[in-house]
Amino acid sequence: MGTLFRRRVQNKKNDSGEDDERSPAHNKEESRNHIHHQQGLGHKRRRGISGSAKRKGHGEDFDREKDGNGKKRWRDSRRFVFILGAFLGVLLPFSFGAYHVHNSNSDLFEKFVNFDSLRVYLDDWKDVLPQGLASFIDDIQTGNYSTSSLDDLSENFAVGKQLLRDYHIEARHPVVMVPGVISTGIESWGVIGDDECDSSAHFRKRLWGSFYMLRTMVMDKVCWLKHVMLDPETGLDPPNFTLRAAQGFESTDYFIAGYWIWNKVFQNLGVIGYEPNRMTSAAYDWRLAYLDLEKRDRYFTKLKEEIELFHQLSGEKVCLIGHSMGSQIIFYFMKWVEAEGPLYGNGGRGWVDEHIDSFINAAGTLLGAPKAVPALISGEMKDTIQLNALAMYGLEKFFSRSERVKMLQTWGGIPSMLPKGEEVIWGDMHSSSEDALNNNTDTYGNFIRFERNTSDVFNKNLTMKDAINMTLAISPKWLQKRVHEQYTFGYSKTENELRDNELYHRYWSNPMEVPLPEAPHMKIYCIYGVNNPTERAYVYKEENDSSALNLTIDYESKQPVFLTEGDGTVPLVAHSMCHKWAQGASPYNPAGINVTIVEMKHQPDRFDIRGGARSAEHVDILGSAELNDYILKIASGHGDLVESRQLSNLSHWVSQMPFPM
């Protein structure tokens, strides 16, 4: 073969009249090229023969795959494969695009295109296509990928424009929005620092809620921790380090560039006439315990004065919107503003009824969230703090569990998220309201389980009440003291106890311990997501390594985390208080405030990373077309258009819960 190749090359040279005399270097290069080419030919022929043997059996020649003229059969040609691929590549986009046009120009297309026959053809292809493409075809056939009204409303300003067109609504009630935990950006305002960390380099930089945060936590972890951690003893700023919540709409617009939080709400409110003189974002430093917000920043005083100014200038009562922890802040504020005493609002009874038109509780954590418990026990954050995945990945990747626990323990706002209501809401070792939901062999009331006991210290499973007590017992003394001064997690046994608790701020974040304000003209809207698996109970193990945390989630267990119905962060039963209030006048709702409950089914768009217009996930619900529709109707004075809708059995569960009143 090599001799034949050289003869052909030599003949080619002679035919072209080239000079045979070449430089030695050129001859060496030519020789190498000949060898490579020769090896390539041998490899191709061997591969062809081997492939033929596998297909045709031993002893058959490769050339038999060709027809009598020495050509490949048409089905084996590359041209056929290319044409088939091109045909499919054109057919699918055309069918998708034509389907969209068909929706808006049905009379025209029905005359020319039969989409039912197209779907029959697509059925034939589904079994042989990759799973992702087959799923895409399913969506086309079932209409899940059509441009229904909600799909269109995922676009910027779309909800506001539609309501403006259909109902001619316009801005009426001033709007105050209170964001949730960790969703407000926090900036450095210190210029001193210490020997290891110069604060001036971070002046006015966002150390929480920006890419600068990610860069700093990776490049200078120690300095970042010194800035964001609070003083353990005081719960306020550590010496020489000063962080403050960013202000204005930018504080909650985006968490990190491209990851919106309240942006969709701002956009749609803007369409119907809202601007900074008619709405505000009441950002706060969510790291602080609630009364410490007033001690350090006068947060509640500013909020009260801003509401009073809105009311005075517009002549209209204010619409309050709280998301996640923001709903707790609003509930706390409504008790604070009417209470009398130092650091309290001193607004007197009737202030809420006079100034507040409505309270929209969007995915609120009025009764806490189970995820807060593993956060304080073992520093679980990736799935505990439900926000930008990149930021949570940074915290999980570059900080040990021990470092995360120490940081979270200094943040006095985090314990406010611990579940409230004990066995009334969360069940006991024998039963829980949600047990019938999944036909569990065990109860959700068994909140923390130990499958592998290594000592007598943690030798029994724990209910929610037991788990919170254990969390505090293994925490530093300063954290135990702060929690005792700021929060409660139980429930009042009598109406007198419920009333007496209104005098003390430690009860104001717990709606099981204090009643709603006497504001008969105020309206409450509880809007939250369902149909999204949510953490509810955990399997823990005790670590033998003395240098590590004592307790961690047992990820070697068959099922380390038990899931239930919810919005991905807040389980369904955490909304029980809304259903209790909705039963009418009671010790918990003395004025008989009207409560509208709307449960939104989580129906994410598989092609939208944030879930699209139908998402009811805990954070992404703020971009939901349905929630934005409700907000605009309520703020514009058309709250009567918002109808109650319950998709779950929570109202029935609440009627069976052992409330003392």
Q: Which residues are catalytic?
A: 324, 567, 618
Please answer whether residues 300 and 288 qualify as being in contact, where contact means their C-beta atoms are separated by less than 8 angstroms. Answer: no
* Residue 309 token pair: 């100014």
> What backbone torsions phi and psi does residue 359 show, to the nearest 5 degrees?
-125, 115
C-alpha torsion angle, residues 253, 626, 322, 165 (rounded to 10): 70
E-strand ranges in 183-302 read 186-188, 206-208, 243-245, 254-256, 259-260, 279-281
- For residue 591, list its beta bridge partners: none
Residue 294 to residues 288, 300, 303, 318, Cα–Cα distance (Å) = 10, 6, 10, 21
Q: In angstroms, rounded to a whole number, what is the distance separating the alpha carbons of residues 123 and 139?
A: 12
Name the DSSP letter for residue 192. Answer: -
Q: How far apart are CA 601 and CA 527, in angstroms?
A: 11
Helix (H, G, I), strand (E, B) or coil at 595: strand
Q: Distance between CA atoms of 319 and 633, rounded to whole angstroms?
A: 11
Quickly tell me which residue has 């719960």 as its tokens: 235
Q: Where are the alpha helices (DSSP H) in 532-621?
A: 576-581
Which DSSP category does 405 fall into? H
Q: Is 538 helix (H, G, I), strand (E, B) or coil?
A: strand
Radius of gyration over every alpha carbon of the chain, rounded to an integer in angstroms: 33
Alpha helices for 284-324 (secondary structure H)? 290-297, 299-314
Q: Give the Cα separation of 626 and 159 in Å (integer).
A: 9
